[in-house]
Structure 1
Amino acid sequence: MSYSIFHNFVIKASLKEIFDAVSLPEHLNNWWTLKSSGKPEPNSEYNLNFTDTYNWYCLVSKVKPNKSFHLKMTQSDADWNPTTFGFDFEKNENGALVKFSHVNWQEANNHFKHCSFCWALLLNGLKNYLEKGIVVPFENRA
């Protein structure tokens, strides 16, 4: 059995702006990571650096420009290693519906529950970044 985190929300932004914000390192660093690298291409490796202790790697598992972007963890902590997270989005009357998922958690442990909460906060940060241009300093993020 595996467990999953899902969050759906609306962002008043174009599909391209959303795709860029969730796939390009210069944008990821404005709402999620301390520093990151990678290219939104199939099987491209991403480095997601949060601190020296949390310096993680993953591969692009799904990429459809302006529609989807998913990453499969390859080097992280034991709970995150088997997981894949990503974004699917579609235009709607209010901008775009973003469907976030973080799937294949092996346990619904405290880390899983904490990550679900943190993702909600971070995704709100993504929304504020795209809609209002707000960049929360890294040390103040979830």
Structure 2
Amino acid sequence: MVDILHRVGVVAPLDDVYRAVATPEGLAGWWTTDTVGKSAVGEQVAFRFGAAGGFDMEVLTLDPSGHIRWRVVEGPEEWVGTEVDWRLDQRGDYTVVLFTHEGWREPGEFMHHCSTKWATFLMSLKELVETGRGRPAPDDVAISDWH
């Protein structure tokens, strides 16, 4: 198994970062505007990216002290069964986000693409919380012919 790992510091209180990751409204502000679902353990949140498709995540953990975890239940074959883990830690003026997308079966080209896209979306999260405006799909940074 292979994991995608990222770390980013957001100049904001942990509660603000938590809301941006733990609620469909927050997620729609930095990941994709087409986000629907219920933010509760055992419920699902659906993320769509136009013609590229999307993912359905089951909410496994919602801890306002700084931990969110999802399991991918629908989406591309490479994603199904993987888990996305968010650890938030307040350190002075920063909330440090430790991001893991774990359980990839192999480090193929699609995983490389997704790692870079996660990085661009984490920058969008940072922008949303710090400035009030993120770059969610469909207005996200295009990184290749896969978007």
Q: Which moved more, 1:124-133 or 1:30-39?
A: 30-39
How far is 1:32 from its partner?
0.5
TM-score using structure 2 length: 0.88
In the alignment, the residues of structure 2 paired with residue 89 and residue 99 of structure 1 have an alpha-carbon distance, to the nearest angstrom, of: 6
Give the equivalent residue in structure 1 for 2:131: 132
1:30 is matched with 29
Amino acid at match of 1:31: W
Gaps of at least 5 residues in structure 2 are 142-147
Counterpart residue number, 2:50: 51
* Deviation of the 1:139 alpha carbon: 2.5
TM-score normalised over the length of structure 1: 0.91
Give the Cα–Cα distance (whole angstroms) in 1 for the partners of residues 41 and 112 of structure 2: 30
Residue 69 of structure 2 corresponds to which residue in structure 1? 70
Let me know the Cα RMSD of the aligned residues.
Answer: 1.5
| Kept after mapping to 1: 8 A contact 2:7/2:99 | yes
Write out the 4+ residue segments of structure 1 that deviate beyond 4 Å after TM superposition: none
The structural deviation recorded for 1:51 is 1.8
* Letter of the structure 1 residue corresponding to residue 118 of structure 2: W
Take 2:124 and 2:39, find their aligned partners in 1: how far apart are those partners? 21
Matched, 1:89 2:88: yes
The one-letter code sitting in structure 2 at the alignment partner of 1:38 is G
Q: Name the counterpart of 2:78.
A: 79
- 1:38 positional shift: 2.4
**CA-to-aligned-CA distance 1:68-118 (integer Å, 9 cap, x gap):** 111100010111112111211011023211111100001100000111111
SS in 2 for 1:56: strand
Q: 1:17-56 CA distances to partner (integer Å, 9 max, x unpaired)?
A: 1111011111211111131122332111111122255142
In structure 1, stretches of 5+ residues that fail to align are: none
Shift of 1:134: 2.1
Identity of aligned residues (%): 25
* Matched positions, count: 141
Q: Distance in 1 between matches of 2:3 and 2:116?
A: 13
Could you tell me whether the CA contact under 8 Å between 2:121 and 2:135 is conserved in 1? no
Residues 73 and 31 of structure 1, relative CA distance in 2, 3 Å threshold:
same
2:116 aligned residue: 117
Q: Which residue identity lines up with residue 16 of structure 2 in the other structure?
A: E
State the one-letter code of the partner of 2:11: K
